[in-house]
Amino acid sequence: MKKMTRTLCAAALLALSAAGAPAQILIGQTAGMTGSVAAGVNETIGGAQLVIDAVNAQGGIHGEKIEMIRMDDAFDVKRASENARVLIEDKKVLALFMSRGTPHSQAIIPWLDKYDVALIGPSTGAMVLHKPLQKHVFNVRATYQREAEKAVQHLLTIGLTRIAVVHVTDSFGADALEGAMTGFTKGKAKPVVTIPADREKPDYKSIVPAIKDADAQAVVWIGSGVAVVDGIKALRAAGSAAQVVTLSNNASSGFIKQLGDASRGVIVTQVFPNERSLGQPMVKEALALAQAKGQAELSPATLEGFASAKVLVEALRRAGPKPTRAKIVAALDSLRGYDLGGGLEVSYSPQDHSGIDFADLSIISDGKFKR
């Protein structure tokens, strides 16, 4: 009898403890937190965490705090897919957030569709995530095609007509190349040379001579992280002064640091307003939260993470108390005119999951992005 009483008391105490424990909203993320894109990925995570920490400090969403479960895929497609499976099937996350990479995000989609799970703010501007519509993918940033088109148009406008294009040989590279070719077509021009580059092991000994032999005045370099860094360094070491333009997947402070002295004058396309535009409400909000944590400034990658996390939080709010996977998808599908700040509006519908159509250019000078 005494043993039974003790058991009942212990059970009661456990129940009271569980009742008093704060509930958690589990959100999953797989991305290359190590490897070739780690610098940018970790800056986007830092930006997202500014929003999540601020929300949790105020009691969370409907009394539940957001808990991020992050898994490193080292920018490997197979690991990204397996991580997504673990997060959805085993960890029971309610949504996925900010995957990195085009083929990586594509590899996640079957798991999203199987379990009715939203992927919010993938850190890729791949058109394949926009058209045809992916039911469970909710984009925040602009497309790579828009960026690449704008980059080519800019070069042609300033009189650089001998333009080479280097593109990684994966779905990201093919996607961005299509945008670049649209820019050439609109400018009634053609690239002087188009050079494929292996994603894992680019052959700079053949890429750089091809650029020099074409007497290129500029290079649109479509690739990720370290691969682009090493390519630019090899180009400069070979004596080429060609203007280099790369896309916003490389818009991070870490990218600049990795380039070192080779960073000066490199142009990087952007998908959000200038991170030093303090008159822009979203930038002002992000900087205030960053400075409260002892961070002196923002980077473009930080701002991307911040914007995507704001969309995540808004979706959770609209999903109501005790959100489910289906409620989050429904909340996103009904999101109309959500202002991230300063007129940067995000709207979704069951027919359109595109993000903000914003593309700009910035040049690296004195170790910083300047527009």
Cβ atoms of 203 and 227 within 8 Å: the answer is no
Alpha-carbon distance 226 to 36, whole Å? Answer: 5
Amino acid 353 reads: H
Question: Could you give the angle at which helices 204-213 and 226-237 cross, rounded to 10 degrees?
Answer: 50
Tell me whether residue 140 is exposed, middle or buried, using C-beta atoms within 10 angstroms of its C-beta: 0 to 12, 13 to 18, 19 or more: buried
Alpha-carbon distance 268 to 248, whole Å? Answer: 6
Cβ atoms of 119 and 108 within 8 Å: the answer is yes
Question: Could you give the angle at which helices 38-57 and 300-319 cross, rounded to 10 degrees?
Answer: 40
For 68, residues 6+ apart whose C-beta sits below 8 A from its C-beta are: 27, 28, 29, 48, 49, 52, 97
* SS3 of residue 339 by DSSP: strand
Alpha-carbon distance 267 to 248, whole Å? Answer: 10
Q: What is the pLDDT of residues 303-334, one digit of tens each?
A: 999 999 999 999 999 999 999 999 999 999 99
pLDDT number for residue 23: 65
pLDDT number for residue 2: 46
pLDDT number for residue 5: 43
pLDDT number for residue 134: 97
Alpha-carbon distance 73 to 59, whole Å? Answer: 31
Which runs of E-coded beta strand occur in the chain? 24-31, 65-72, 95-97, 118-120, 137-138, 163-168, 193-197, 218-222, 243-246, 267-270, 338-339, 345-346, 360-365, 368-370
The two tokens of residue 28 are 């999953």
Instruction: Please state, in angstroms and as integers, the Cα–Cα distance from residue 122 to each residue in 104, 158, 192, 259, following that order.
Output: 10, 33, 33, 25
Alpha-carbon distance 189 to 345, whole Å? Answer: 34
Query: What residues of the chain score a pLDDT lower than 50?
Result: 1-21
pLDDT number for residue 14: 42
Among 45, 47, 55, CA closest to 313:
55
Distance of CA 124 to the CA centre of its chain: 5
pLDDT number for residue 326: 98
Distance of CA 91 to the CA centre of its chain: 23
